[in-house]
Structure 1
């Protein structure tokens, strides 16, 4: 296995026409359906990069920016943004295109953390990532920062260390009633 790889060697682009069977009652494509194909693209990108079977460990920052209509062509673009020893972050951009007039809109950007596995389900080492552009470096560093923020949030709000009394006063400005 190569010790370092170029991200472009594993970039994935998938386009799919959105059908009525993918929609809700208002003619908009179900977010769950978009997440399903995003997961497939993340798997493909990560497996192609690592040369191993990959599983989804987490999904970060799923913001649906614009609705997708029946009849639009949806394109998902995936690339490796970050690598650890056995895990990688796959960045995915979702765009839709009105095929009649050519107008495009950005619908979603998300980050899937994928882990490489062997045939017995054990984590396997993956190649390092060759960063070639300023954008590659920015995406890698952004992934590091997201991981740091996740770690801090987990530490601050762990079940063992959480104190209701510490946060109860902050909840007075929210639409909640505390009955405990």
Structure 2
């Protein structure tokens, strides 16, 4: 069965927000975990738009923090599905900060995540292929098989490690630690 194809732009999602005091760490920059939460959320939007089915995050393959974001800055996240295998989708996310008073913009974070679409029984489902158009989309598409093989290698490594983990509860004087 031939898979349908969709353009990267059809999965594009954009979100902008103002960095507020509750978003800051002790260095007065945005919490990395807050950025990661926003990345996962927008990547899920792109994956759902591409598959038009419920999706789950299978992995966060990389998150690269390139520059700090300060209170009062705006951040804009943009994501799109950059590549697919038969049942998984690679989503690329970039985060750009803007100093609102000076209009200075900086790429602060990039990330790759993998999502799986779920059918009505909660099983992984086939997803459409991707058609890249822009220079960035084409480059990400061309280099995706290398990232895909690296993800498979890490998943195998993780499966091996998980098989070695002791699942008995850690107790100290009868208290769960």
- The reply to whether TM is greater than 0.5 is yes
- Number of residues of Structure 1 aligned to a counterpart in Structure 2: 159
- Structure with bigger strand share is 2
TM-aligned CA deviation for residue 121 of structure 1:
1.3
> How much is the aligned-residue C-alpha RMSD, in angstroms?
2.1
Q: Contact 2:61 / 2:151 at 8 angstroms: preserved in 1?
A: no
Q: Contact 2:83 / 2:129 at 8 angstroms: preserved in 1?
A: no
Q: Partners in 2 of 1:37 and 1:81 — Cα distance?
A: 18
Alignment match, 1:175: none
TM-aligned CA deviation for residue 7 of structure 1:
1.2
Alignment match, 1:50: 51
Deviations 1:26-81 (A, max 9, x none): 21110000000100000000001110111100111212110111111000010111
Unaligned runs of 5+ residues in structure 1 are: 161-180
**TM-score of the aligned structures, taking structure 2 as reference length:** 0.82
Unaligned runs of 5+ residues in structure 2 are: 162-177
**TM-score of the aligned structures, taking structure 1 as reference length:** 0.80
Runs of 4+ in 1 over 4 A off after TM superposition: 152-160
Q: Alignment partner of 1:32: what SS?
A: helix
Deviations 1:64-99 (A, max 9, x none): 110111111000010111011121000000110001
